[in-house]
Amino acid sequence: MSILELRNIYRDRLNVSNQECDYIYKVILEDLCYIDPIKIALDPNFIVPENSKKLILDSLNRICDNYPLDYIISKKNFYGYDFFVNEGVLIPRPETEELVKWILENNKNLKGTKKVIDLCSGSGCIGIVISKENNNMDVTLSDVSEKALEVCNRNKINLNSNVKSIKLDLNSKLQHPKKYDLIVSNPPYLSTKEAHKIGKNVKYEPEIALFAPINKPLHFYEKIFEFASTNLNKNGEIYLEINPIFIEDFSQLLSRFNPNDVNFRDDFRGKKRLVKVLF
């Protein structure tokens, strides 16, 4: 079967515009089959090898079932870096890039070393980018999930990062012995009531990385502030991605911990999704 015939099968089956369909097809060709997509234009009669044809058609079936393209190619670009991703971690979002950018902007003239911990690291995208972009950031990745930590360590190696990684359960009462100057986290913050509103492809992402406990949408923020009360150095700062739906509840929770300063920031969609807290 030719490369053009396969492209047309994608166009026939995917319920998206030809432009979006062609983008998906080219990604599959290049990242999964290692076939240069330019062949579609320059050599439309190019016969796709049988093993690649199978990969292409199998991928199409999965995409039709709303399986994320990023999981198919095991890759997601975040802040200019290609991160390995699988079903053990959340797929990095553009809103989280804004959180990283905010941290880097506020620390671009940093002198000396700042100890950073990325709580609920997932793929490690936040902490690894911070460490790559600012050599004065001494970053530790942490997660309760062994699968997530495996992905973190794989990305650490792939991206030649000097981050450290530890297993840390925010629900545990065990004391963590180290202190940090900066805490950053994009914890699970969706309520189960929002499950029907999110995209169909999200069903393949780990629930542990998406949803807060039932009837406790701010559970992990409370745990992060409790962690900070014993593990954040004086004049330390916390950067968080939050759920705009619970902004008032979040503010009430935060007031219990007597912060010195709180600064909210809208994401690119105009939703109050980011916050910086000084203690």
Q: How do residues 226-236 score in pLDDT, each as one tens digit?
A: 999 999 999 99
CA-CA distance, 201 to 257, in Å (whole number)? 37
Q: How confident is the model at residue 216 (pLDDT cuts 50, 70, 90)?
A: confident
pLDDT at 173: 78
Q: Tell me the average pLDDT across 247-251.
A: 91
In terms of pTM, does the model score above 0.85? Answer: yes
Q: How confident is the model at residue 202 (pLDDT cuts 50, 70, 90)?
A: confident
Judged by phi (left if over 0) then psi (alpha if -120 to 50, else beta), residue 122 lies in left
Q: Tell me the average pLDDT across 103-113.
A: 92
Look at residue 240 and tell me whether its pLDDT is greater than 60. yes
pLDDT at 157: 97
Which range, of 56-60, 75-79, 187-191, 225-229, averages the lowest pLDDT?
187-191
When comparing pLDDT for 114 and 206, which is higher?
114
Average pLDDT over the chain, rounded to an integer:
93
Look at residue 40 and tell me whether its pLDDT is greater than 80. yes
* Percent over 90 (pLDDT), the chain: 81
pLDDT at 203: 80
Give ∠ CA 228-232-236 in degrees, rounded to 5.
Answer: 115
Look at residue 260 and tell me whether its pLDDT is greater than 90. no
Q: How confident is the model at residue 217 (pLDDT cuts 50, 70, 90)?
A: confident
CA-CA distance, 78 to 92, in Å (whole number)? 7
**Any bridge partners for residue 84, and if so which?**
none
